[in-house]
Amino acid sequence: MMIWVLTFVLSPFLRTWLNWQNSIMLNCLKLSLRAMKS
């Protein structure tokens, strides 16, 4: 029971953290692509 509560509480935090990581990765990729083009 406790595990379910923990996962339920932590899942939004994990999701936001993953989204944040993904956005950083995407920004880095965009910057590197721009650097290659110029």
What would the pLDDT profile of 8-28 be if each residue is shown by its tens digit? 889 999 999 999 999 999 999
Task: Say whether pLDDT at 31 is over 90.
Answer: yes
Q: What does 1-38 look like in DSSP terms, one character per residue?
A: -HHHHHHHHHHHHHHHHHHHHHHHHHHHHHHHHHHHH-
Banded model confidence at residue 32, pLDDT cuts 50, 70, 90: very high
pLDDT attached to residue 6: 85
Dist. CA 33–CA 35, nearest whole Å: 5
Banded model confidence at residue 3, pLDDT cuts 50, 70, 90: confident
